[in-house]
Structure 1
Amino acid sequence: MEILQQIWEVTLGTVTDVLPIAAIIFGFQFAVIRKKPANLGQILFGFVWVLVGLSLFLLGLEWCLFPLGRLMAEQLTDPNFIHAGKAVADAANQINWSDYYWVYLFAFLIGFSTTIAEPSLIAVAIKANEVSGGAIGIWGLRLAVALGVAIGISLGCYRIVVGDPIHWYIISGYIVVVIQTSFAPKMIVPLAYDSGGVTTSTVTVPLVAALGLGLSETVPGRNPLIDGFGLIAFASLFPMMSVMAYAQISEYRARAKSADVESAESST
């Protein structure tokens, strides 16, 4: 009965959240545009699937992803695991950032894998490929964004372990972004900025947020409210750098290849 009650509460909350969106869309369609949309039945049927999908997804977050992310953080930061062979009392009094290398590796891999599976990023990559006429590769963009997220989350976990103020990291990161913007191909700059936003979506955020909270709760001297949040900012910032770097490297390689072709033609 408790499970059924949770399903009902989540479904009811999803309906409450989605109804205003539907009211705005259909209100403009019928009151402003004053035209009946084509395939109205299919659209309504799609809304039903949206409600079902969102409800199941939210239940999955609550029952699986949030507990899993926190559990992994607790296990990886357990003094018995980090300081194998040392006394637990000594381990609790010693915090060395290098002892948490498994946390950084897990953060890197989970950031990379969740970003690759991010539906919003896949949609943006497909559209960018279509609009650019194939100049922007789907997998190239996805891998560049995923690498940026992975590096950002790993660095964010390092910040939680050592307890550094987050604002210095974010300020330094945006200084790098501004400098890169001046040199990156103009075509890629808006896409790089959007890529930072699409990473903070349905798959990445739950695990990353749970990881940050779990890590701050288990590292001695950390406050979950102050140190537990902020990983999402790293996940949004670093993809901008990685996408622009990917475009700059691609442009450099294209110029080098063109120069080689020209030199070969001139020599013949």
Structure 2
Amino acid sequence: MNEVVIFEGFLDTILEVSIALAPLVLFFIFFQLVYLKLPRMEVLNMVKGVILTFVGIVFFLQGVHVGFLPVGEILGQGMIEHTGKWVVIVVGFILGAVATFAEPAVRALSDEVEKVSAGYIPQIVLLMTLSLGVGLAISIAMIRTIFGIPFMYILLPGYGLTLATTLITKENFVSIAFDSGGVATGPMTVTFIMAFSVGVASQIEGRDPLVEGFGMIALVALIPILSVLLLGLVYLRKEKQNERELEKESQRNNYYSQEG
């Protein structure tokens, strides 16, 4: 009986993933036959990778359908029913931070940033910044749901502040920030936290889950962007402070050399 529940809709999931991967496979086959002409071993390794990707995505999406979504919704409903409204703000922050910390796309981005910047932006710094940013976004979403705050009252000022911050932060953090907003809305965060938000909204009297339960992903995309831009301001301030210290040291050295 449990096997039936676990693999319910499994064939549909296989079909969805096949349709998603088919264009990529066809493109590769075309370019391999016409342009690339890669050695047989490299092609074989790519085929193995595609197979592993297919299997991994199928089981991941199946787990999302039968596990993540139901658990997230049940957890949101149960917390409102048994612990009260205010607890979900704190729990939402923790869940958002933990889910983002475990998000593969976020780890891949932070790792690439550390490599490209030659360690100037450490992986753990960017990872913690994004995790805290998503946690804050979930908390804001919970506050919005509890009080019934119109979505645009948060979204418009938020994006206005974000665009203003791009003008004063370090330039190399701007592109990283907007990419961060995209990777933060990955499958780990979206599936579990969105279901949690819908579950919370469904248990608050006078709240429509269709209105209050959604829109959270926009906040999850917004707040990490702003948090990385603010991180750029911290780096900018640190650099200016280091420049002032170097300038003072240079002036002292010139003074002592003249005295000598």
TM superposition score normalised by structure 2? 0.89
Distance apart, 1:254 and its partner CA: 2.9
Contact 2:129 2:227 in 1 (8 A): yes
Residue 151 (1) aligns with residue 153 (2) = no
Unaligned segments of structure 2, at least 5 residues:
254-260
Structure 1 residue ranges, 4+ long, deviating more than 4 angstroms after superposition: none
Aligned to 1:105: 90
Query: 1:224 and 1:26 mapped to 2: Cα distance?
Result: 45
Q: 1:47 aligns with which of 21, 46, 50?
A: 50
Q: 1:136 is matched with which residue: 112, 121, 143?
A: 121
- In the TM superposition, what is the alpha-carbon distance from 1:113 to its structure 2 partner? 0.9
Matches within 5 A, 1:1-12: 2=4, 3-4=6-7, 6-12=9-15
Do the aligned residues in 1 keep the contact of 2:10 with 2:62 (CA within 8 Å)?
A: yes
| Contact 2:93-2:139 within 8 A present in 1 as well | yes
How far the C-alpha of 1:4 sits from its partner, in A, is: 4.7
Is the alpha carbon distance of 1:16 and 1:158 closer, same or farther for their aligned partners in structure 2, counting shifts above 3 Å? same
Q: Confirm whether residue 176 of structure 1 aligns to residue 161 of structure 2.
A: yes
Is 1:81 aligned to 2:86, yes or no?
Answer: no
Counterpart position of 2:107:
122
Q: Distance in 2 between matches of 1:192 and 1:263?
A: 33
- Report the 3-state secondary structure (helix = DSSP H, G, I; strand = E; otherwise coil) of the residue aligned with 1:203: helix
Letter in 1 for 2:184: T
Give how far 1:264 is off: 4.7
- 2 CA distance for matches of 1:41 and 1:16? 22
State yes or no: 1:16 paired with 2:27. Answer: no
Pairs within 5 Å for 1:112-261: 112-261=97-246
Secondary structure of the 2:186 match is: coil
Alpha-carbon distance in 2 for matches of 1:254, 1:9? 54
Q: 1:72 aligns with which of 72, 75, 86?
A: 75
* 1:83-135 Cα shifts (integer Å, max 9, x gaps): xxxxxxxxxxxxxxxxx221011110111111111111111112122222222
Alignment partners' CA distance in 2, 1:265 and 1:183: 28
Distance (whole Å) between structure 1 residues aligned to residue 111 and residue 152 of structure 2: 34
Q: d(CA) in 1 for partners of 2:11 and 2:58?
A: 9
**Contact residue 134 and residue 223 of structure 2 kept, 8 A:** yes
Q: Report % sequence identity.
A: 26
Q: Distance in 2 between matches of 1:240 and 1:4?
A: 37
Q: What is the RMSD computed on CA atoms of the aligned residues?
A: 1.9
Q: How many residues align?
A: 249
Name 2:37's counterpart in structure 1.
35
Residues 7 and 62 in structure 2, CA contact (< 8 A), matched pair in contact too: no
